[in-house]
Amino acid sequence: MRVGVLGGGQLARMLALEGIPLGHRFTVLEGAPDPPAGVASTVVAAAYDDPDGLAAVAAAADVVTYEFENVPAGSAAYLAARLPALPPPGALQVAQDRLAEKRMFCELGIPTAPFHPVDGPEDVDEAVAVTGLPAVIKTRRLGYDGKGQVVARSRGEVEAAVERLGAGLIAESFVAFDKELSVLAAAGREGGRAFYPLTENHHREGILRVSYAPAPGLTPSLQSEAERLAGLVLDRLDYVGVLAIELFEVGGRLLANEMAPRVHNSGHWTLDGADASQFENHIRAVTGMPLATPRVPGPAAMVNIIGELPDPGAVAAIPGAHLHLYDKAPRPGRKIGHINVTGPDEATVMRTVARVWELLPGAGELPRATGW
């Protein structure tokens, strides 16, 4: 099948690398020069809302998908009118707006932290009454990697954040979580479902640094609760493809934080740690192939390469370390690759992660798995 992808970054690159062996061919729409996906796809060089670009992708593809949720609504509508555009545009719409997302979670009975919309100083009192303090003030749209959000510890800080971030905000209770987890779920065109084991994630400055999977200490009941919650979202959105939901674990309970209607950084470990990756399952889903029920034979971890490249040879010399570079120019705070770690047991994986971490320029202290 001919698969079109809006966006030509690392997610599109890995979708293509994993989809090519299934017999598919890829065309990406990407305005930035020399995009990461270019090595494994045909590039239509245009903006995501360029009519000629969209027409070219529609003509070159049998199905179209996305590597990011902030697809312009008009582009999604244009494509969906011409060919299967998956996940469905409705899922993108919800995921583009943190408020719509949180309201959907609520309606589905999926626990979240208390939240309240904020459109200006006049909403601060009511919001703080709902969220308490500290509160997290976020833009409803276009935030990523910690951008567009502020933790406010006092009413004054809330007001300052609202002043700074403008209208179209959401205030949420600050969650003193025990762990950050994520669940990756997939839904096929013909209705099949697949789930990966919960992943434990460690962020710093709002950017994912390290993931461990299956999440240390994961119990079957927590896994099935996560799958149940994810299943509710898949149902509600008539979803097709891979969906990630970021969760907080608080006192053994799961709270939904946010979702991504696409393959997700916290699932990159599946390239080496599962017998079918999130990228393969996303492509299986959108092309109408049966999903793979992933087998995860042992523990795995993922370490993001952010800002600066470690010596690739030194990484390659570490047994169990798997290098995945994106062909992106290094720049502070930019994700330019990741290193997956696999091994026969948790202790070995943890030791290997520590060796990998040593090679990352200026990485600071290693966020260790809780319990490995």
d(C-alpha 178, C-alpha 175), whole Å? 9
Strands 207-213, 300-306: pairing kind: antiparallel
In degrees to the nearest 10, what's the CA dihedral of 222, 132, 154, 168? 80
Residues 6 or more apart in contact with residue 220 via CB below 8 angstroms: none
CB of 221 to its own copies, least distance (A): 23
Per CB under 8 A, 149 contacts its own copies: no
Nearer to its own copies, 223 or 293 (CB): 293
CB of 296 to its own copies, least distance (A): 11
Per CB under 8 A, 320 contacts its own copies: yes
Structure tokens at 258: 């946010």
Q: Contact with its own copies (CB under 8 A): which of 114, 134, 288, 307?
A: 288
Q: Of 92-100, 116-124, 238-246, 295-303, which part binds its own copies (CB under 8 A)?
A: 295-303
**How many residues belong to the site for its own copies (CB under 8 A)?**
38
Q: Contact with its own copies (CB under 8 A): which of 298, 333, 361, 371?
A: 298
Structural contact between residues 136 and 114, judged by C-beta atoms closer than 8 angstroms: no
Q: Using alpha carbons, list the distances in angstroms from residue 18 to 2, 272, 309, 324.
A: 14, 12, 23, 13
Residue type for 135, please?
Answer: A
d(C-alpha 301, C-alpha 99), whole Å? 32
CB of 192 to its own copies, least distance (A): 9
Per CB under 8 A, 330 contacts its own copies: no
Task: Label residue 166 exposed, middle or buried (CB < 10 Å: 0-12, 13-18, 19+).
Answer: exposed
Nearer to its own copies, 51 or 297 (CB): 297
> Within 13 Å and on the Cβ side, how many CA atoms surround 194?
28
List beta partners, residue 31. Answer: none
Secondary structure element (H or E) that encloses residue 79, with its range = helix 73-80
Q: Of 12-20, 61-69, 104-112, 237-245, which part binds its own copies (CB under 8 A)?
A: 12-20
Q: Contact with its own copies (CB under 8 A): which of 67, 227, 272, 346?
A: 272
Q: Of 120-128, 130-138, 169-177, 285-293, which part binds its own copies (CB under 8 A)?
A: 285-293
Per CB under 8 A, 33 contacts its own copies: no
**Contacts with its own copies, residue ranges (CB under 8 A):** 13, 17, 20-23, 25-26, 39-41, 272, 275-276, 284, 288-290, 292-293, 295, 297-298, 312-313, 316-317, 319-320, 322-325, 327, 337, 342-344
